[in-house]
């Protein structure tokens, strides 16, 4: 067992981060303790890390602990990327202070982009979520993980590509996958197992190269690939134009009579680079229901 304390440059509002993580029923969160248990695979070995906030928004600090021996340095380095502790949010917020998003950034000050805990799990989740309402998408994803994944210390891990490649279409249909979605998920796993797609190598490439590579896979379109870039890899300059949530957020922000066109969206977002991913997050945040108001 090991414990580490890590200080981060503020602002960083971990309570808002937890609020968004609570959307996913697979996440193990304790709001009172301000903590989340993170399932990580370090060199293929599943370990659980507890991340607990012990500071404030302006002076953030975290207690990081695990019951696993070793893997400490690799785990902490991964957590820094997952929770966006590697780049001060103040630099990003400052960029938006002279834009139309200033009010949203002030309202949700210190909200970070938090990545999915596993590259493969993120891509699978993106495929499952395609063309489903959000509530059922999370339910179906949880059903998939709890049926075929593994559990450690009360935390669920997504099944590995090797495990998923052996799952039959019929087994996925039993938990309410459509036949096509079942084919996409098992097809992705088989492509990884057979060496046609290497996610670890892929993450070193440019956004454009990753988009090109992923969209060659059956069942992965631009929306899915962009979401993987944003929430799997944390790429900073992604704005998925086809996302209905972003269209609705822009409609609300600019009091438009209907959802904006692609040309209008390109005009609105012109001055938001190179942090379009944060513009996306805060726009989504502006139309989400906060859990404390439910």
User: Within a 13 Å sphere around the CA of 92, how many CA atoms are in the beta-carbon half?
Assistant: 29
Q: How far apart are CA 285 and CA 144, in angstroms?
A: 27
Structure-token match 């600019």, residue found: 254
Q: How far apart are CA 200 and CA 264, in angstroms?
A: 36
Is the peptide bond preceding residue 11 cis, with omega within 30 degrees of 0?
A: yes
Query: What sign does the dihedral 83-77-88-281 (CA atoms) show?
Result: negative
Q: How far apart are CA 34 and CA 262, in angstroms?
A: 39
Cβ proximity of 36 and 28 under 8 Å: yes
Q: Which two structure tokens, joined as six digits, stand for 231?
A: 């929430």
Q: How far is CA 111 from the centre of its chain?
A: 13
243 is catalytic: yes
Cβ proximity of 182 and 172 under 8 Å: yes
Known catalytic residues?
A: 243
């Amino acid at each position: 067992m090991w414990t580490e304390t890590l200080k981060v440059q503020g602002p960083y509002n971990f309570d808002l981060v937890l609020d968004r993580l609570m959307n996913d029923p697979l996440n193990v969160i304790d709001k009172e303790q301000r903590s989340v248990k993170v399932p990580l695979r370090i060199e293929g070995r599943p370990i659980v890390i507890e991340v607990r906030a012990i500071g404030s928004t302006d002076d953030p600090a975290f207690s990081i602990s695990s019951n696993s021996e070793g893997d400490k340095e690799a785990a902490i380095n991964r957590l820094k990327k997952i929770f966006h502790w590697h780049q001060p949010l103040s630099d990003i917020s400052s960029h938006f202070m002279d834009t139309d998003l200033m009010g949203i950034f002030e309202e949700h000050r210190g909200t970070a982009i938090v990545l999915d805990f596993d590259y493969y799990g993120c891509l699978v989740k993106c495929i499952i979520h395609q063309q489903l309402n959000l509530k059922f998408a999370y339910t179906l994803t949880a059903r998939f993980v709890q049926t075929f994944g593994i559990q450690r210390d009360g935390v669920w891990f997504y099944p590995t590509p090797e495990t998923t490649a052996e799952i039959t279409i019929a087994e996925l249909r039993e938990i309410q996958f459509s036949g096509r979605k079942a084919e996409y998920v098992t097809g992705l796993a088989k492509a990884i197992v057979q060496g046609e797609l290497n996610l670890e190598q892929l993450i070193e490439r440019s956004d454009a190269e990753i988009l090109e590579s992923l969209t060659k896979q059956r069942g992965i379109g631009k929306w899915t690939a962009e979401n993987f870039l944003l929430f799997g890899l944390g790429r900073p300059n992604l704005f998925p134009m086809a996302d209905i949530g972003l269209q609705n957020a822009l409609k609300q922000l600019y009091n438009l009579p209907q959802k904006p066109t692609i040309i209008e969206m390109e005009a609105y977002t012109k001055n938001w680079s190179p942090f379009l991913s944060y513009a996306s997050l805060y726009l989504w945040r502006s139309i989400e229901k906060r859990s404390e108001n439910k």
